[in-house]
Amino acid sequence: MIVKNSGLIELPRITDGIDGTISVAEVEIHIAFQIKRVYYIYDLENSSAVRGKHAHKELEQVIFCLNGSFILTLDDGENQEKILLNRRNIGVYLGKDLWHTMSDFSANCILLVLASDNYKESDYIRNYNDFLSFLSTRP
């Protein structure tokens, strides 16, 4: 990955024959932060839908695509990267100070997000130019 504050996370896939497959995400093994919030995004029926469009000052997240596919675009203020998420056991770590968008959702796409804190509007940067200005104040 070329973007700062990000990385791929691969969860184990345990296949149990006709009884299906399980993937497990464990704190301190796969997820580097304590999980305080879990949410999922679905019913993305509009092909032009774009989610995200923000950065966080402190929040850390891991995002997975549980069904279908989508494009995750990451921007650290210097580099941009587009990642196709389409495998249920592969997620992307989104650290702080990272602008992100999700787009190009396939039919029946379902996203799962694990977050390090409860929702706090004050942690969001929702304007890209404000994001760039904020980065210039970081050490």
CA distance 55 to 96: 7
Write out the catalytic residue numbers.
54
